[in-house]
């Protein structure tokens, strides 16, 4: 199996998980509205589940689903300079972000693991489990920027300011 086929399959599974989280959040919201306004029985667990799904959806999506061309960035300057300088921008950005995320990782890990002492009010889910998505997010972002750094330094390829097909996943970069 080719690397691009594996990458494409993994991206589709990440999108499936994201869609499942959206469905859970949507149905929890609908249940909350129905119970509150039709039965006059407010349900706290639905609100809590909606917030948890939102947190996980945002970080999961940023880590595994959002493509490079979908990220919000100020590429006016990047798009107006020659390819060599674009590579310098990519290298500098990747080095800064990799460094910042790796430097923050031990403190983030300590905080997330410390939060095992508390749990959510209604669903009784330990906060270390709820916040573990942040650790997953940090590791995924570091891996993504290591890949971009490798592409810029070794392959001498830079992500364009506009959408273009990626050789690995077949998605835009």
Q: What is the pLDDT of residues 4-57, one digit of tens each?
A: 888 889 999 999 999 999 999 999 999 999 999 999 988 899 999 999 999 999
pLDDT at 169: 47
- Asked if the structure places residue 70 within a domain, the reply is yes
- Asked if the structure places residue 171 within a domain, the reply is no
- Asked if the structure places residue 132 within a domain, the reply is yes
- Asked if the structure places residue 168 within a domain, the reply is no
Q: What domain range is 25 assigned to? A: 3-155
Q: Which two tokens stand for residue 88?
A: 């310098």
- Asked if the structure places residue 50 within a domain, the reply is yes
- Asked if the structure places residue 20 within a domain, the reply is yes
Reported pTM: 0.82
**pLDDT tens per residue across span 128-168:** 999 999 999 999 999 999 999 998 998 877 776 655 444 44
- Asked if the structure places residue 127 within a domain, the reply is yes
- Asked if the structure places residue 12 within a domain, the reply is yes
Q: Give φ, ψ of 125 to 5 degrees.
A: -90, 130
- Number of structural domains the chain divides into: 1
Q: What residue spans of 38-152 are helical by DSSP H?
A: 44-60, 76-80, 83-114, 127-150
Give the sign of the dihedral formed by CA 128, CA 51, CA 122, CA 26.
negative
């Amino acid at each position: 199996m080719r690397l691009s086929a594996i990458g494409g399959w993994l991206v589709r599974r990440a999108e499936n998980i994201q869609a499942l989280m959206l469905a859970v959040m949507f149905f929890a919201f609908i249940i909350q509205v129905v119970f509150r306004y039709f039965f006059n029985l407010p349900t706290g667990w639905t609100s809590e589940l909606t917030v948890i799904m939102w947190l996980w959806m945002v970080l999961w999506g940023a880590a595994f689903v959002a493509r490079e061309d979908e990220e919000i960035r100020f590429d006016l300057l990047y798009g107006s300079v020659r390819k060599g300088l674009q590579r310098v921008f990519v290298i500098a950005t990747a080095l800064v972000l990799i460094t910042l995320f790796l430097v923050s990782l031990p403190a983030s890990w300590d905080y997330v693991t410390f939060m095992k002492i508390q749990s959510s009010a209604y669903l009784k889910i330990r906060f270390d489990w709820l916040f573990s998505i942040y650790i997953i997010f940090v590791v995924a972002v570091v891996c993504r920027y290591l890949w971009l750094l490798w592409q810029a330094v070794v392959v001498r390829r830079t992500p364009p300011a506009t959408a273009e097909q990626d050789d690995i996943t077949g998605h835009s970069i």
